[in-house]
Structure formats: C-alpha cells, structure tokens
Amino acid sequence: MSPWSCNVGPRRHSFESLRELMAKATPLRSGDELAGLAAATAEERVAAQHCLADVPLRQFLAEPLIPYESDEVTRLIVDTHDAEAFAPVASLSVGEFRNWLLRYETDQDTLVALAPGLTPEMVAAVSKLMSNQDLILAAQKRHVITAFRSTIGLPGRLAVRLQPNHPTDDPKGIAASTLDGLLYGCGDAVIGINPATDNVTAIETLLRMLDELIRRYEIPTQSCVLAHVTTQLAAIKNGAPVDLVFQSIAGTEAANKSFGVNLALLAEARDAALSLGRGTVGNNVMYFETGQGSALSAGAHHGVDQQTCEVRAYAVARHFSPLLVNTVVGFIGPEYLHDGKQIIRAGLEDHFCGKLLGLPMGVDVCYTNHAEADQDDMDNLLTLLGVAGCNYIMGVPGADDIMLGYQSTSYHDSHYLRQVLGLKPAPEFEAWLEKMNIASEGRLHEVGAKHPLLLP
Amino acid sequence: MSSNHPISESDTSAFSVERSTLSVPQLAAADSWRHLRQFTAARIALGHTGGSQRTESVLDFRLSHARARDAVHSPFDADTLEQAMRARSLFTFRLSTAATDRRTYLIRPDLGRSLDDPSRKLIFANAQTWGQRDLAIVVSDGLAAQAAEQHAIATLEPLVGHLIAGGWTVYPIFVIPFARVKLQDEIGELLGARHTLMLLGERPGLGSPDSLGAYFTFNPRAGCTDADRNCISNIRPEGLPPVSAAAKLAYLLNESARLSLSGVALKDTNPIYPPKISAT
C-alpha cells in the first residue's frame, strides 16, 4: 500500500513517496521529463495534484525530500524553521493553504509574519496547485523591501538591473552600454556586469570603473561584477570597491558544490562585503541568481523535481538577507523549459515562491535561441510579472546580451512596463533621473550631446 | 541608409528597399550618443518612439533572431572539417555520442554527455596503440555547427603546435557530433588522459551564430562537475579571436598542469589583455 494515493474515476493512482508526488503534481516541463520524474499522463498529473492537496503542510517538516544527514541545505531549512510563525497555517493541508493565501484577509502583514514558518517544500507544493492568476494575485500581496544605496521593492516601483556585458570585458565597451542604460533611466537595482572570464585583475578594473562612475555622478545605485564568489573575495582582499557580492546558487548541497560554493563560503563573502560598509540607505549586500534545472544539470537533484529544487535555493538566499535575487528563468535552455509557455509558468512560480519566502525577487525574463520562444513570449511574461509586483527586471541594450548569447529585456521594455502599469523607479534613483534631466514623470527627456554623462 | 548599427549593416543593405518604406525616423527620437557604438557591438543608442523601440530596431532584432534560429538547426559537416584538419596535420578520429539527431540532442542533454557503445569499443581497441598521453581534445558542433566548422582549426593549430613544442603528448583529435561539455569526462577516464579539452559551438547569440566555447579539465573522470573545469567562451574573430584563445588556453593548460588542478581553484591572473582606461 503506497503512502499517497487517490481515486480518480475508476482508476487508483499511487505515489511511492512525497518526492514522487511533488514531481508528478508539477505542471508539465521538459526538465522533469528529462529527469524521468514527470507524470506519465495528463490524468496522472492532476491525480497527483488532488493527492497533494490533501497532504498536511506539517508533513513537509516530518519528511524532508532530501535527507537531513546528507544535505546542508536541508539542515538549514530544518534548523531555521520557526514553529511559532508557522502556527497560523500548521493545521492546513496544501489545498487549504492555497485557499488561505487567496483570502481577502491574507495581506502583507500576515505574509510577513508567516514567512519564517514556511519551508521551500511547502511553498513549492502550494504553487503546484495554483493557476497562473493565483501565482500573480498572491505574489502581489507581498512586498519585499531591501536597500543599499537605493530602496528596492516598494509598492508601485519597478527597478532595473543595468546589464552592460561585453564579450571581452572591454571597459570602454562596458562603459558605453552603461551610459546608454543610465540615459534610458535604468540601473536602480544594480549596475551588474557578467564578466566573460574570471580574471581577478580584469574584474578589479571593472569594479573601479563603476565605482568611479557612481561616485562622480552621485548615482544612488550599487555595482556588482558577477564573477565567482571566490574571485570577488580576492578582489575585496586586494582593496577593490565591492558593493554587492554575487553568486549563483542552487537548492542542494551537491548542486552548490558544482558551483564551487557552500553555506560557509557564502557567509564569509557576506561578512567581507559588510565589513566594507559601503551601503548608505541599507545593508543588504548579497546578490543571488538561480534558475530551475540547475540541480538536475549538475546531476545533483536527488530525484526531486526542478521547481522544488529551485525553491530550496531560495532558502539558501534568504539566510543571507540579499538585496536582490533573480531567477534567470529561460537561460538554461529548452531541455529544462521547452517553450514560451513553460518559461512563463516557471517565471511566475519562481517569483511567487521567492516572495512568499520573503525574498526581493526579480526575474530575468529571458530565453535562448534553441528554445521554442521569442520576444512576444517575453512581452507576455514581463507584463504578468509587472502585475505580480516583481521587484526588478534586467535592462540589456536592445534585449540582446552580446556576451552571454541570450535575449532578455531591454531598457525600452522597462519603459513599456512602467507606462502600462504606472510604475516608478526606486525613489532615490527617480530623484536622480530628474536632477540629471534624464527622465521625469515617466517620460524620457531629450538628452543633448553636452549632457554631463556624455562629457569626457 | 537608416541604421549604422555594427551588427546590422549588412542587414539594412539587404533590406534597404523594403526598409525605407517602413521607417519613419522623424517620428522617433535618435540618441545623441550614437558615437559610443564604436566601443561595443551591443545594441546601444537605438533611439526611441515614446519609451518604445523604433520600428527599424525591432525588425533588426527579429532578423538576427531568425538567423540564430537557423544556425541552431543547421547540420554539421564533420567530414569536411576532418579533411581540413588532416590537411594541417591535425590527425582526427571520429566518435559518436548516444544522441542520434539534432532534436534529440536539444532535448536530451544526457545523451550528449555519453558515448555510444561502438565508440567505447573503438576507444578500447585503440587505447594500446595510442598509449597514455597528456591531452585528449574533442571537437563538436554543440549548439552551433558553424562555430566548430569555422574556428576549431584556427584555434587548435597554434595551440597544439605550442603544446607539443612544450612537451605535451596529444591524442588524435576526436570529432564527435552532438556532444555536451561533460562528455570530456568519460573520454578522459576511458583513455586515462591527464587533461581533456573540448571545443564546441556555444548557444548562438543574436549577433554571434558562430561562437566557439573551450572547456578543459585536469584529471577528468565521471565525478567531475563544472566547478572542476575552466572555460573560455566567445571564440570567434569578432569576440576572442582564435589565436588569442589559443594563447590563453596554452597559458591556462600549462598552469593547470603545473599546479595539478583545474576549475574554480585555477585563477586566471595573467592579464593577457592589458586593462584599458575607462571611457568615462
């Protein structure tokens, strides 16, 4: 007799473990099929959702999907769980929890108080029962506000990471894209460069260049060079001006090991960044990126579906009070999220799950050229995330990242979204844009050749 | 000519007749910082209409995406590549992965990470003849056949010459269609190679349908992860030129051999390109 089973018409569907039940209840995506974890039929998927709806939330505390003994992420989740915060929903099943989230009475304050009581597995489970509109509605209730030199995540605001990448890290090329982004009113979340190579000297050059730019024009934003965390630590030791420390993270210890990181190393990096004391309006110094499929890609998923692994990564992120977390949702490729439909669903799931756990979620609304997706799919996801209250999006020149070889959202896309939804930049940055005569009241100003940013 | 975007110069000339009826530049603001385009191929200073992109930028982008999509699905001419390699004394050996066609390759990366059975037998059959050597090189189409076809030789010819002159012993170059990066671990382990190096087409970007990636691993074995490898990406004339990539790889491979490690612990501290002074 299987622990989890339910009758759907004449058929009885059985699931051997909570792990299998979670995987089979997950809306269809290629990565779970690749892992051999997906439901075999559409009916089995819905049967699994029926069954999952009846699972008590507290079951996830009793039955870790990845053993406590063998995984430090599980240990982090279990050891930091706040039973008191969990109390209001402790008696609910997953299905009842969905209803609870959608009640009028469940608001920002309720969700803030609840967050430490939720584990990633509970949040992943309920998201599997939720429709896209549920994911949007519930996420919109939750504002997660963080700060360094600008304040991110306030209601009615949408920030942008300026992403001025260059294929050879040429500082002049990066500077050109950075100025372009600033003159398009972008960069309030962070000016964040993905370096092409993990060279300590090269990233120090870029950090100094951004620091000089930010100081010279008194831009209320922060910089980041998204090298490996150990490379950034080396730069800090050399005295480089590091605002935010970045790292890609995943939801299992083994997947993090494949990234060359663990919790202790992340703690060391955070301490190092905090010791520099470079924030002005806040002290959130970490920047994390995630994405469904990374654990499977590293052969480190332990038979857990990719969406649940992703939410476990948020438990890692939450431990370090980051300024920014974003899922790079369509970057990993069609073997994990096959097409526009799967990318859109995953983007909404990641945003909702991150917010519910209390993370300042942004989304890199993106796709690769081997995925069955195009810019229209990104327009759809961008709009939905704007409605859901996403903290920030990427700003890439013309949506074309010439270093990473994928398509994201453009500076112009942020203007589209701010226009249709009446969203504003981070308040400190909004004031700076006005002071610099770049934009005001949601409109770009004409910038002449003698604008201060364009002077040598 | 309405656009001087570096990526799209040829595109606009090809479409100039149609384009001239579509673009209405006087309705859309140009940017006063177009001169900054000399520093990057990124789509900067696009101008705007309202807060949105102008018609010509939207169509430029769409054409680039169409070309990248076509590049993903273009077939790999491994025979011609092998002939050209042999003509330059780069001896080759063909193997196959468990992925049998392009579609399967795209949705089943696991199959691209392992050899098929006949290929394993071929390695066993030849292992004694080859003996144990320092470096096994793999060339694959990956996600962009033209990257391997156009830049693998230009990268390998100087690199292999340099390494052999420095005392490295190298297996025949394995040409393997439909391979993923991790395949180098199985090959390295089967051969007992000290290092593996893999060159394969990267996912094509909009302006770079021919970008080659290079990944190498010290002491390759099944348990290796990406943290155990070093990567150099965007090898193509407009990115990291093949000759420069060869120099960088030669430096890193020698460092890797000297320190007996690869991956995140091997830091690239050699400023091959002297940092330039910022434009600001």
Shortest CA gap A367–chain B (Å): 11
* pTM score, whole prediction: 0.87
Give chain A positions within 8 Å (CB) of B32: 447-449, 451, 454
Radius of gyration of chain A (CA): 22
Give chain B positions within 8 Å (CB) of A419: 50-51
Nearest-angstrom CA–CA distance, A28 and A377? 17
- Interface contact flag, B205 A401, Cβ < 8 Å: yes
pLDDT recorded at residue B100? 93
Alpha-helical runs (H) found in A298-338: 306-318
pLDDT recorded at residue A2? 66
- Interface contact flag, B31 A234, Cβ < 8 Å: no
The residue among A49, A60, A51 whose CA lies nearest residue A86 is A60
Q: What is the largest CA-CA distance in chain B?
A: 72
Spell out the residues 6+ positions from residue A37 whose beta carbon is closer than 8 angstroms to its own. Answer: A20, A23, A24, A303, A305
Please give the angle made by the CA atoms of A359, A365 and A367, to the nearest 5 degrees. 135
Alpha-helical runs (H) found in chain B: 9-14, 16-22, 55-72, 78-87, 102-107, 109-112, 117-130, 145-165, 183-191, 242-259
Q: Could you say which residues of chain B have pLDDT below 50? A: 1-21, 24-25, 272-280
Chain A: residue whose CA lies nearest to B57: A398
The A residues from 311 to 340 touching B (CB cutoff 8 Å) are 333-335, 338
Q: Does residue B267 sit in helix, strand or coil?
A: coil
Strongest mean pLDDT among A1-10, A20-29, B226-235: A20-29
ipTM, 2 decimals?
0.95
pLDDT tens digits, one per residue of A308-353: 999 999 999 999 999 999 999 999 999 999 999 999 999 999 999 9
Question: Which has more confidence, A62 or B10?
Answer: A62
- Interface contact flag, A171 B50, Cβ < 8 Å: no
Closest Cβ–Cβ partner in B36, B205, B227 for A259 = B227
pLDDT recorded at residue B16? 45
pLDDT over 70 (residue A421):
yes
pLDDT tens digits, one per residue of B89-132: 999 999 999 999 998 998 899 999 999 999 999 999 999 999 99
Helices A72-79 and A263-276: angle between axes, nearest 10 degrees: 70
Give chain B positions within 8 Å (CB) of A183: 31, 33
Q: Which CATH number fits domain B72-265: 3.10.450.100, 3.40.50.10470, 3.40.50.11240, 3.50.50.60?
A: 3.40.50.11240
Going by pLDDT thresholds of 50, 70 and 90, the confidence category of residue A258 is: very high
pLDDT recorded at residue B22? 52
Give chain B positions within 8 Å (CB) of A373: none
Going by pLDDT thresholds of 50, 70 and 90, the confidence category of residue A9 is: confident
How many other CB atoms are found less than 10 A from the CB of residue B117? Answer: 10
In order, the DSSP letters of A245-268 are EEEE--SSHHHHHHTT--HHHHHH
Question: How many residues comprise chain A?
Answer: 456
Closest Cβ–Cβ partner in B40, B48, B208 for A177 = B40
Beta strands in A242-391 (DSSP E): 245-248, 286-290, 324-327, 361-363
The A residues from 390 to 429 touching B (CB cutoff 8 Å) are 397-407, 410, 412, 415-416, 418-419
pLDDT recorded at residue B280? 28
pLDDT over 50 (residue A241):
yes
pLDDT recorded at residue B275? 29
Lowest mean pLDDT among A92-101, A431-440, B71-80, B162-171: B71-80
Interface mutation vs chain A, best among B8, B34, B35, B44, most A CBs within 10 Å? B44
Nearest-angstrom CA–CA distance, A20 and B101? 31
pLDDT tens digits, one per residue of A162-203: 999 998 899 999 999 999 999 999 999 999 999 988 889 999
Instruction: Mark residue A223 as left, alpha or beta (left: phi above 0; alpha: psi -120 to 50; beta: remaining).
Output: beta
pLDDT tens digits, one per residue of A264-286: 999 999 999 999 999 999 999 99
Nearest-angstrom CA–CA distance, A372 and A367? 9
pLDDT recorded at residue A255? 97
Q: Where are the domains of chain B?
A: 72-265
Q: Does residue B2 sit in helix, strand or coil?
A: coil
